[in-house]
Amino acid sequence: MASSDVSVDVRPEFNSFDHLRSIRYIATDRPWLTLYGIRVQPVTPFSSLSSRPDLALIHQCLPDELLFEIFARMSPYSLGRAACVCRKWKYTVRNPTLWRNACLKTWQRTGMEANYQMVQSLYDSSWRKMWMLRPRIQFDGISSRRILS
Amino acid sequence: AKVISFRERARERERERVRVSQVMATGNGEAAVVEKEGEGTMVPEALEKKVVLDAAEKEEEEKDSEAEAEAEARISKLVGDMIDNVCADHGIPLPKVDIKTVRKMAEYMNKHFAITNKEELKIWDEGFINELDGDEDKYSLFKIIRASERVGFYGLLDLASDMVARKIKAGKAIDEIRKFLGVEKDFTKEEEEKIRRENAWAFEE
């Protein structure tokens, strides 16, 4: 009886103490420390087609939507010429809203619904193509068809 | 399409505001009380009360704001909305607008409030926009367009944008347009030939 009491008392105490002590000295994992001192270079954003900055004052002052606002006030012929000025203008002129307005204005008599059906069925839903290909009355009264090269 | 319809609605609201102001202005020296649905009540104090437009950028020794009669400032949608929501008591900040541009906008507001004859107003508009266009680098013209769009000042935005559009149209040759606006040609030789061929119809007008 006495010997069994002694053995039971000693062993649990020894185990718990040893357990606590071992926990204190276990090294924790710190993976981020492997990056200490290493400089990570930020990824360069995709550069534009031209490496030089755009020097045009109109592009510095006006965002794209305001450039579009100016183009919305121009005739289709002016738009076609504007597309030849620079790349930015070329892409801005491609906006289908500009050509839709041009078509609906040129062929008002046909009616809006008929124009919408026509652009979808005959011109691959492209207002620009419709404006270039569809016969229309010129200012001199001659009807002509444009060739899309 | 959504943006366009929104802008057109905003323009209609602007015209409504202008009409309200004009009614007040032609009261033979007396301010009339005008009530319109959705517009709130315009009170005679609107003619006396001043609204301060604060410029974000100012040159040295320039004052940094312009005081406007409230009724005149309401021509701008943003300013009108701020007044209606009682946010204008400590001045209305106009972000990224310099004092020169604010002064020009104030001049436009004053004239459009004072002149009620449409033909006379059109003539004044033409002179005003030509004066802006007279700046050598077109900087003032572009700044006016930018500031008008920010503030919701659609009448002035239309006027200035029309001027630039007219200039682009007037330049028949491509090089003339580039020179006028300071735009550089960034097409390659093949690209330019292709785009010219694509738009050959545009040069026949």
Q: pLDDT 10s per residue in chain A (149 long)?
A: 444 444 444 445 444 555 555 555 556 666 776 666 765 656 555 455 445 566 676 776 777 777 887 888 788 878 887 888 887 788 788 788 888 888 887 887 778 778 877 887 888 788 877 877 777 765 544 455 444 44
Together in a domain, A66 and A82: yes
A24 domain-assigned:
no
pLDDT of residue B190: 74
Beta-strand pair B50-57/B92-98: parallel
Residue A5, classified by CB atoms within 10 Å of its CB into exposed (0-12), middle (13-18) or buried (19+), is exposed
Continuous segment of H or E residues that includes residue A115: helix A112-122
Residues A86 and B182 sit within 8 Å (Cβ to Cβ)? no
How confident is residue B42, by pLDDT bands cut at 50, 70 and 90? very low
Dist CA A22 CA A7 (whole Å): 23
A73 domain-assigned:
yes
Together in a domain, A83 and A101: no
A22 domain-assigned:
no
Domain housing A90: 55-94
Residues B114 and B76 sit within 8 Å (Cβ to Cβ)? no
Q: Indicate whether B205 pLDDT > 60.
A: no
B170, closest residue in chain A (CA to CA)? A78
Together in a domain, A90 and A118: no
Together in a domain, A87 and A115: no
Provide the mean pLDDT of chain B: 63
Place of tokens 């404006």: A131
B163, closest residue in chain A (CA to CA)? A70
Dist CA B154 CA B151 (whole Å): 8
Dist CA B178 CA A56 (whole Å): 9
Among the listed residues B133, B159, B150, B163, the one whose alpha carbon sits nearest the alpha carbon of residue B55: B150
How confident is residue B47, by pLDDT bands cut at 50, 70 and 90? very low
Together in a domain, A59 and A90: yes
Residue B168: its chain A contacts at CB < 8 A? Answer: 70, 74, 78, 82
Together in a domain, A80 and A103: no
Ramachandran sector of residue A78 (left: φ over 0; alpha: ψ -120 to 50; beta: rest): alpha
What the block records as the tokens of B7 is 């802008």
Polymer length in residues for chain A: 149
pLDDT of residue B130: 79
Residues B93 and B64 sit within 8 Å (Cβ to Cβ)? no
Residue A80: its chain B contacts at CB < 8 A? Answer: 199, 201-203
Q: What is the DSSP letter of B39?
A: T
Q: How many CB pairs under 8 A join A and B?
A: 108
B30-68: b (≥16 Cβ within 10 Å) or e: ebeebeeeebeebbeebbebebbbbbeeeeeeeebbbeb
A105 domain-assigned:
yes
Neighbours of A23 (CB within 10 A): 8
A85, closest residue in chain B (CA to CA)? B174
Q: What is the DSSP letter of A7?
A: H
B contact set with A (CB within 8 A): 1, 4, 137-139, 142-143, 145-146, 149, 157, 161-162, 164-165, 168-169, 172, 174, 177-178, 181-187, 191-192, 195-205
In this predicted model, what pLDDT tens digit does every residue of B84-134 receive, in sequence order?
A: 655 555 566 666 666 667 767 777 777 776 777 777 777 888 788 777 777
Residue of A54, A85, A112, A142 best to disrupt the B interface, most CBs of B under 10 A: A85
We report the CATH number of the domain holding residue A88 as: 1.20.1280
| Crossing angle of helices B154-170 and B2-25, rounded to 10° | 120
What the block records as the tokens of A9 is 């008392």
A144 domain-assigned:
no
Note whether A105 contacts B: Cβ–Cβ < 8 A: no
The tally of domains found in chain A comes to 2
Residue A86, classified by CB atoms within 10 Å of its CB into exposed (0-12), middle (13-18) or buried (19+), is buried
Cα angle B4, B72, A69 (rounded to 5 degrees) comes to 25
